[in-house]
Amino acid sequence: MKKTLLSLSLALASTSTVIHAAPTDADKYLAQTEDEVIEWRRHLHQNPELGNREFETAKYITAHLKSLGMEVETGIAHTGVIGFLKGGKPGPTVALRADMDALPVTEEVDVPFASKAKTEYNGEQVGVMHACGHDTHVAMLMGAAQVLAEMKDELAGNVLFIFQPAEEGAPDGEEGGAELMLKEGLFKKYKPDVAFGQHVTSSLPAGVIGYRSGPLMASSDEFRINVKGRQTHGSRPWGGVDPITAAAQIVMGTQTLVSRQIDITKEPAVVSFGVIDGGVRNNIIPDSVYLNGTIRNFDMDNRQEIFKRLKTTAELIAESSGAKAEVEILEGYPVTSNNPELTEAAIPALKAAAGDSKVMVIPKITGAEDFSFFANEIPGFYYFLGVTPEGTNPATAASNHSPRFYVEESALKVGTKAITQLTLDYFASQNTQ
């Protein structure tokens, strides 16, 4: 259950009422970390590791946090690292999160610190690259940790630094990520009041921040359907049960789930098939066909309704032709939804970091994020930081997860300041109540 915010919007409803905590000190320390953040990012970029295997990344982060004198825990959700900074004055606890893992992608960006790493993934040798920018997230949070540690005595509250593994998903057969951190008792132990997180994107110019109140990113769920018939010769379809025609009807029938059965005035949704696999020869009707796809949605009630209707549709269509459909739904990440009051309160901090003209509301994103698990437990706010360099059109820039994904590093000082200022402003707001 989400906690209720303590009248945060009253304290931070507009730029005229916002209180920035010690901005001069923060700016001084931020300026001192700019070069280090880039240095840390380049090291991490050159040494990427896949989810639940971020061993060296965890050591690198741990050494930094310990050098700042804070309490450090390691081995959380396999490789996660936690830093806890106790402020000099009583107050709430703010959780700040950065994800650590890279992707099985071979880098094609021509930079001196490009990744040459290789590893085994699903039985194959693959390149490894921070193609989604998690290296920048870690570096910026390391920078924020350094700034806030310098200001420790002034802080009216505590900061929980969460360096999370396996955001891109745990290896097959393993648990991981934010869900496992919570399952192991992270929030029960530290009891944070709010959580902040950020993600770099090629969809915005460098230094521009995009945010949205309420649902920001979709839930992401996988479905698998095995359509079972009875094999026969292609010249005698009546001699068996054809799972291919049944599967084709299931594909077409499920297209009406969203367009005819779900109230899309509430929130949009998408059901997509990515795999159809069945048969080995042109004149043999096979025993079975395998279907595999994804469901994206922005409303948790709609999510459950889609699950139910997908199962019913597939099973009854198959039954109508004498076949049988076995439907499995693998629940992934929930909807990432920003708490409205916390979002409103965050705007002044974002503008202080990026400038008034470089903070904007962005459309919903059908990608998914496991920060959603944190934001389902406590009020959360998640936003995007543009990293596409000037002169490059964000609409055509290589996207996150591309081997050509490129980060304009000048944006990192904006992200470091934003996550720091969000923390300071939240402490200041709670102090005025």
SS (H, E, C) 180-232: HHHHCCHHHHHCCCEEEEEEEEEEEECCCEEECCEEEECEEEEEEEEEECECE
Residue whose token pair is 């706010």? 381
Mean pLDDT of 302-324: 97
Mean pLDDT of 398-419: 98
Please state which of the four CATH numbers 3.40.50.720, 2.10.109.10, 3.40.630.10, 3.40.50.10210 is assigned to the domain occupying 8-216+336-431. 3.40.630.10
- What pLDDT shows up at residue 14? 35
* Residue 223 burial (CB count, 10 A): 22
- What pLDDT shows up at residue 431? 81
Domain layout of the chain by residue ranges: 8-216+336-431, 219-333
**Phi, psi angle pair for 159, to nearest 5°:** -125, 130
Query: Is 333 annotated as catalytic?
Result: yes
∠ CA(195), CA(433), CA(341), 5° rounding? 40
Give residue 425's identity as a one-letter amino acid code. Answer: D
Burial class (CB in 10 A: 0-12, 13-18, 19+), 166: buried
Closest CA to 130 of 167, 176, 75: 167
Options 168, 179, 377, 409, the catalytic residue:
409
Q: DSSP assignment of 61-122, as one string?
A: HHHHHHHTT-EEEEEETTTEEEEEEE-SEEEEEEEEEEE---BS-------TT----EEEET
**Tens-place pLDDT, residues 368-390:** 999 999 999 999 999 999 999 99
**Tens-place pLDDT, residues 152-192:** 999 999 999 999 999 999 999 999 999 999 999 999 999 99
- What pLDDT shows up at residue 24? 59
- What pLDDT shows up at residue 122? 84
| Cβ atoms 67, 394 nearer than 8 A | no
CA distance linking residue 338 with residue 375, whole number of Å: 7
Q: Is 38 helix (H, G, I), strand (E, B) or coil?
A: helix
Beta strands in 232-298 (DSSP E): 232-233, 269-277, 284-285, 288-297
- What pLDDT shows up at residue 432? 67
CA distance linking residue 137 with residue 199, whole number of Å: 7
| Cβ atoms 143, 33 nearer than 8 A | yes
**Tens-place pLDDT, residues 218-270:** 999 999 999 999 999 999 999 999 999 999 999 999 999 999 999 989 999 99
**Tens-place pLDDT, residues 75-104:** 999 999 999 999 999 999 999 999 999 999
- What pLDDT shows up at residue 19? 43
Return the CATH number of the domain spanning residue range 219-333.
3.30.70.360
Give residue 357's identity as a one-letter amino acid code. Answer: S
- What pLDDT shows up at residue 433? 56
Lowest mean pLDDT among 39-53, 256-270, 312-326: 256-270
Two tokens, residue 231: 């094999």
- What pLDDT shows up at residue 18? 43
| Cβ atoms 299, 219 nearer than 8 A | no
Q: What percent of the chain has pLDDT over 90?
A: 92
Options 333, 382, 383, 426, the catalytic residue:
333
**Tens-place pLDDT, residues 108-126:** 999 999 999 999 998 899 9
Confidence of residue 25 (pLDDT cuts 50, 70, 90): confident
Q: Is 171 helix (H, G, I), strand (E, B) or coil?
A: coil
- What pLDDT shows up at residue 242? 98
**Tens-place pLDDT, residues 328-348:** 999 999 999 999 999 999 999
Q: Is 129 helix (H, G, I), strand (E, B) or coil?
A: strand
SS3 content of the chain, % helix, strand, coil (to 5): 40, 30, 35
Closest CA to 338 of 311, 374, 290: 374
Two tokens, residue 61: 């982060």
In terms of residues, how long is the chain?
Answer: 433
Q: C-alpha distances in angstroms, 431 versus 16, 80, 242? A: 17, 31, 69
Two tokens, residue 79: 């490789």
Closest CA to 163 of 69, 14, 238, 62: 62
- What pLDDT shows up at residue 3? 36
Question: What mean pLDDT, rounded, does the chain reach?
Answer: 94
Q: What percent of the chain has pLDDT over 70?
A: 94
